[in-house]
Structure 1
Amino acid sequence: MGPLRVAVFTLLSIAALVGWLVVDHELWDRPRDEIARQQARLFNLVTVITVFIGIACLYATLFVLVRVTAAFLLTPESLRPALLPSPSPGSSSP
């Protein structure tokens, strides 16, 4: 999977999670009168941006933790059998 596809899927998953959190926790404001509606638009926008930033920070933290863990646990010696091609039945080994 290319880096562009990974970035698109990451943004889509963050957007889905933001939407779910806003809907499930009833963070969206729907007032009746016009003055309160204008203020509610601002509050709703700030809520979505805040939740988006929070989830993006959690994704970044998870990414860093996975990379650090992989750097410590996946040594070149442990990956060599999986990365080097296995000899075919008819070939001679050196």
Structure 2
Amino acid sequence: MIRHLVCLRPTDEEAARALPRILADLGALTGEIEGFVAFAGGPNIDAEGLSPGITHLFSCDFADRAALDRYAADPRHRALGARLVEACGPGGITVYDMEIAP
């Protein structure tokens, strides 16, 4: 299983207000793309004070690398990704992918 983790640092308050809708739309793709098995996303509570400026995060779980590749290529994901880039600007999105035990 692959976990795709994304940290979002929006450019301003208006952009931050757009993120919950984009995250909801990404979550709606769960099960719509073969092997996209789980989604979680929401505001960053930054309990330890170690992620300044990161207002939202999300994670996606994929059955395998092929499922992650299908997600990356899917036009619905690409359109939502463009909205995230618009809201966060250059350097405002950090992505991690890690293999996890199912």
Superposition TM-score, scaled by structure 1 size:
0.27
**Highest relative contact order (Cα 8 Å, sep 6+), 1 or 2?**
2
Structure holding more helix per residue: 1
Work out which of the two has the higher radius of gyration on C-alpha atoms and give 1 or 2.
1
